Structure 1
Amino acid sequence: MTSLMGNQSRGETIGYSFSEPTSANVKQHSFYPYTDNGGSTLGITGSDFAILAGDTRSTSGYNINSRMVPKVFRIGGDDETGEGAQVLLSVVGFAADGNALKEKLDTMVKMYKYKHGKPMSVSACAQRLSTILYEKRFFPYYVHAILAGLDEEGVGALYSYDPVGSYEREQCRAAGAASSLIMPFLDNQVNFKNQYIPGSGAGHALEAVKAEPLPKDTVKQLVRDAFTSAVERHIEVGDGLQMMIITKEGIEEVFIPLKQD
């Protein structure tokens, strides 16, 4: 013990941990390639249609990068006009990742049509998008994606995703910066959560209102109301509302002005 303790002054102990503090300056290096460009999207389905909508503001912190950055895209259509597309995709979060994801899915849907001579169904496209996201799970696309179209029976179909590919079919879904403001509104007006029929029972025995598909005009007004309310409370949402409605006749695109402050 004498040789072991020979270089130690009285009262000091020997440490054998590699994490012992030193007098040298310690520098920590990190790499974080993501950013959040703000904005919000939402989707609602009906008995024979589906609507995807998003605002057009792009932000970085408190800065507005652009007031016209669409977040809803046609998938599998003509390169210039988008004609012939039967699927819609909305992406919100990191804009560069959103564009990369949109381009990859669009290419795969076009390749499918070229190889098989028929368009890809919305359910197959939903599964393919899940696979694309899962393949990047260790360095994921920093986006919240929503896919919409008409299923084999002509009924509106809506699929929402997390960044690594988990997805489910829903009647409505909001994503992005103002999703916490919009989703409760959709739960109330579309899913009829915690709504009961007056006079249908006594006390807690009231009969719940059954959620049923809403008419297209009603849904379009709900979308406008949702974004009109969101821009009053969230600085990363605003400028314009892009709304795409897909039916068996095709895709209709509408732009509506929103607050710019």
Structure 2
Amino acid sequence: MAEKIYHNGGCVVAMRGKDCVAIATDHRFGVLSQTLSTDFKKVYTVAPRLLLGLVGLQSDILTVLDRITLRKNLYEMENHEVSAKSFTSLLSTFLYEHRFGPYYVEPVIAGLNSHTLEPFLCTMDLYGCPTKVDDFVAAGSCACQLMGMGETLWRPNLQPDQLFEVIAQTILNAFDRDALCGWGATVYVVEFDKITKRTLKTRKD
């Protein structure tokens, strides 16, 4: 199972700050050690203050994104804008429905609660079991390295600029130790009034 989910490489990490969250991903798409593309998108906007990161098999990433977007749109037709908690339930239920033939993806959800603006972080396994945290989460082929760097660099109540620096250093140092990730990175910092996107240049070898 691990070989399948990491077949195309890639990583995502998300962190909580003071009234903000950040999520970062690398750019590489490959087949094991062979790099095929250096601009594969892995983080998507779900709502004005809510982002979804997906790593795993490329075909499954695109399929899950398409189908969960449909469910989200149907939800919003009957209700108001989807909240972080509601979207987590939608995605968890969808993945669990396919537990006997699972999609090989690891989702990371990061954003601010639509009503309270409280930071929200959650990750799931491929069966849709959610894990909500108050500090940081990581997924992908270098998740262990990301968690190690997060434990070293992260601290509570980081301001947006500080959070950007911490998550940028975390992902850059982590995927330098994994041949299946890298080739640049993108960092998104979510605040109550804006989402700031920054691209990082890294080693390309």
TM-score for the superposition, normalised by structure 1? 0.72
Give the number of equivalent residue pairs.
Answer: 201
3-state DSSP of counterpart to 1:233: coil
Match of 1:99 in 2: 62
Secondary structure of residue in 2 paired with 1:92: strand
- Label 1:34 to 1:89 Cα distance change in 2 as closer, same or farther (>3 A): closer
Contact 2:149 2:174 in 1 (8 A): no
**Do structure 1's residue 154 and structure 2's residue 117 form an aligned pair?**
yes
Relative contact order (alpha carbons < 8 A, sep ≥ 6): 1 or 2 greater? 2
Runs (5+) with no aligned partner, structure 2 = none
Find the counterpart in structure 1 of residue 194 from structure 2: 250
Q: Secondary structure at the match of 1:145?
A: strand
Name 2:49's counterpart in structure 1: 86
Distance 1:226 1:89 in 2: 19
- Residue 128 (structure 1) aligns with: 90
TM-score by length of 2: 0.91
Q: Please state how far the C-alpha of 1:218 moved relative to its aligned partner.
A: 1.5
SS of equivalent to 2:102: coil
- Aligned equivalents of 1:231 and 1:182: distance in 2? 8
Residue 120 of structure 1 deviates from its aligned partner by 0.9
Q: Distance in 1 between the 2:99 and 2:140 partners?
A: 20
Deviation for aligned residue 1:159: 0.6
Aligned counterpart in structure 2 of residue 163 of structure 1, from 101, 126, 129: 126
Verify the 8 A CA contact 1:109 1:119 in the aligned structure 2.
Answer: no
Uncovered stretches (5+) of structure 1, i.e. residues with no partner: 1-31, 77-84, 192-211
Q: Judging by fraction of residues, say which structure has more helix.
A: 2
The letter of the residue matching 2:27 is T
Corresponding residue for 1:234?
178
The structure whose residues are more often strand, as a share, is 2
Q: How does 1:37-186 map to 2 (within 5 A)?
A: 37-76=8-47, 85-116=48-79, 118-151=80-113, 152-170=115-133, 171-186=135-150
How far apart, CA to CA, are the structure 2 residues paired with 1:254 and 1:188? Answer: 23
Shift of 1:34: 6.8
Q: How far apart, in 2, do the equivalents of 1:149 and 1:231 lie? A: 23
